[in-house]
Structure 1
Amino acid sequence: MHYGNALRAEISRPHTTPLVGIYDMYSASIAARHFDGFFVSGFGFAASHYGLPDIGFIAWPDMVAFAERLRLAFPRHHLLVDIDDGYGDPEVACHVVQRLERAGASGVILEDQLRPRRCGHADGKRVLPLEEYLAKLNLVLDSRADLVVVARTDATEPDDILRRARALAKTDADVVLVDGVRSVEWIRRIRDAVGDKPLLFNQIAGGKSPSLALTDLARLGVDVAIYSTPCLFAAHAAIDTALTELLRADGRLPRTDAADAIGVREATELLERNISRHHEVAGRAR
């Protein structure tokens, strides 16, 4: 299946395409009931897979393995993967992109940060010289087949943001992302800078960017919206609450006969869908 072309066609439609951030197979299983596209965020993956902050700990084989598991369970969902700076030099980045494309990823985001890197909404980010990043980006673009490539800049100085956005828009990248955009006015300025190139906007709770509805983003000319951490942060709050209540109840589990309660039956039914989706697609292929 041409996953990249399917995502590219979705992005070209006259609305803002939402991709929801998931961090493990269970969160993806729940998200699949609500959204047609996933975003594998570095923040969520570093937190769930390593229990570490998003500052460059991710190893590319772990990310490829996660993408493979996602694609098997969700054969029709769009799957955009954050690959930070490509995990090293340009040749490593190209290898990772090819492995992810073979694993069934729809697209990747490649940033221009220097290591040690940081979350796109953190302070203290530093970026590669533009020409060095463009050289890596162009090699990655040449190494893909139909994979969507999002060119991302983490520049923070106003003149540099616009300079880099214009430069990225001139490449063969499919989409441009300026991370950590601080205002609606800056979304407009970036939209003007990239011309006709599709634009992606990243929203993260507690981040530097404003919280905007999809209809607002569509009016601003944003083509894709990624939500990096809604599942992770919701799980954080829900788990903390559930365990606090368990202690208060002297270790007695809550009843599961309420309409919104989750027990063994509900969880098993959710996970069984991951098997049936795969068999449905395999059956059509035959």
Structure 2
Amino acid sequence: MRYGTALREEISAPGTTPLIGIYDMYSASVAAQHYDGFFVSGFGFAASHYGLPDIGFIAWPDMVDFVERLRLAFPGRHLLVDIDDGYVDPEVACHVVQRLDRAGASGVILEDQKRPRRCGHADGKQVLPFQEYLDKLHMVLDSRGDLVVVARTDATEEDDILHRAAALAKTDADVVLVDGVRSVEWIRRIREVIGDKPLLFNQIAGGKSPRLSLPELDALGVDVAIYSTPCLFAAHEAVDTALRRLKAEDGRLPEAGPGRVGVPESTALLERNISRHHDTASLLTR
């Protein structure tokens, strides 16, 4: 299965391709009912797997293991994977990319931050000297197999943003991402400097970027939209609400009924993941 090729074809089709950020197998199971593409968010994975913020704690074997489990349960979904800075070392980045390619990932995002890294929408980000990042990016591109590679810059100075975006568009990376874009005008400016290269936009609740619909993004020339944390933040809110209600009711569970999730609904959701293992008519082979 050529998962990277399938994602490239999706990106090149008309409209903006949405990829939904998931953080564990259960959130992916719910998201699969609504969307065809997943984004394996570093923010969500650091939060769910370690209970820590997105500042560089992720170990690459944990991420590869997660992607392997995702692909088994969801053979027909696009899987774009956040690999941060490639886990520092260029040789490690190449090894991880090759492992993810064999695990069935569709693509990866490689950023130009230096340690200590930050979430793309946080303050205090620092970027590598550009040539150092380009050297790492070219090594990854040479070792990627079929994977889509998104070249990401976290530059914050205006001239540096445009310089790096334009230079990344001239590489063999499939897509360019400037993270933390603060306005529609800046989306237009980035779109202009990267020419025909596909453009990715990252939306995260409470982040620095404007809230835009898919039709609005399409009109701006955005080819891919990743939604980093809708599942994670919804779970945070829902769990907190449920436990407050449980406490208010002195530990009495709510009655089962329409619109509520209980054992039958949860089991039915998870059983679909078993059936997908044997489904030869997946989305990527139609």
TM-score range normalised by the length of the shorter chain: over 0.9
Residue equivalent to 1:279 = 278
Letter in 2 for 1:268: T
Match of 1:263 in 2: 262
Aligned match of 1:224 = 224
Alignment match, 1:237:
237
Of the structure 1 ranges 273-282 and 98-107, higher mean CA displacement relative to structure 2 is found in: 273-282
Q: Does residue 207 of the first structure (1) align with residue 207 of the second (2)?
A: yes
Tell me which residue corresponds to 2:164: 164
**One-letter identity of the residue aligned with 1:134:** L
- What is the Cα deviation at residue 144 of structure 1? 1.1
* Separation (CA, whole Å) in 2 of partners of 1:123 and 1:81: 23
Q: Which runs of 4+ in 1 moved over 4 A?
A: none
Pairing 1:65–2:65 present: yes
Residue by residue over 1:247-284, the C-alpha shift from the partner in whole angstroms, topping out at 9 and shown as x without a partner, is 01110111112x2110000000000000001111399x
Separation in structure 2 between the aligned mates of residue 267 and residue 274 of structure 1, nearest angstrom:
12
Distance across 2 between alignment mates of 1:55 and 1:256: 40
SS in 2 for 1:20: strand
Asked if 1:249 is matched to 2:249, the reply is: yes
Aligned to 1:36: 36
Q: Distance in 2 between matches of 1:62 and 1:145?
A: 21
Q: CA deviation at 1:209?
A: 0.1
Partner secondary structure for residue 280 of structure 1:
coil
Query: In the TM superposition, what whole-angstrom CA distance separates every residue of 1:72-130 from its partner, at most 9, and x where no partner exists?
Result: 00001000000000002110000000000100000000000000000000000000011
The residue number in structure 1 matching 2:174 is: 174
Q: 1:181 to 1:170 in 2, by over 3 A?
A: same
State the distance in 2 between where 1:57 and 1:208 align. Answer: 23
Q: C-alpha displacement at 1:235, in angstroms?
A: 0.2
Match of 1:19 in 2: 19
Distance 2:252 2:216 in 1: 46
The 3 A distance-change label for structure 1 pair 166 and 30 is same
1:146 Cα deviation after fit: 1.1
Paired residue secondary structure (2:279): helix
Helix, strand or coil at the partner of 1:97: helix
CA distance in 2, matches of 1:93, 1:282: 33
Q: Give the TM-score of the pair, scaled to structure 2.
A: 0.98
Matched residue type, 1:114: K
TM-score normalised to structure 1 length: 0.98
| Deviations 1:149-192, CA, capped at 9 Å, x for gaps | 00000000000000000010000000000000000000000000
Q: Structure 1 residues 62 and 282, CA, compared in 2 at 3 Å: closer, same or farther? A: farther
Task: Work out the CA distance in 2 between the residues paired with 1:38 and 1:274.
Answer: 15
Residue 135 (structure 2) aligns with: 135
* Paired AA for residue 101 in structure 2: E
The separation in 2 between residues aligned to 1:23 and 1:166, in whole angstroms, is 32
- 2:97 counterpart of 1:86: no
Residue type at the aligned position of 1:80:
L
SS in 2 for 1:279: coil
Counterpart-to-counterpart distance in 1, 2:193 and 2:96: 30
In structure 2, the gaps of 5 or more residues are none
Question: C-alpha distance in 1, partners of 2:88/2:109?
Answer: 14
C-alpha distance in structure 2 between counterparts of 1:224 and 1:194, whole Å: 14
Opposite residue 189 of structure 2, the aligned amino acid is: R
CA distance in 2, matches of 1:38, 1:166: 27
Q: Which amino acid aligns with 2:22?
A: I
How far apart are the structure 2 equivalents of 1:230 and 1:266?
A: 21
C-alpha separation in 1, matches of 2:202 and 2:57: 21
Identity of aligned residues (%): 80
Q: CA RMSD in A?
A: 1.1
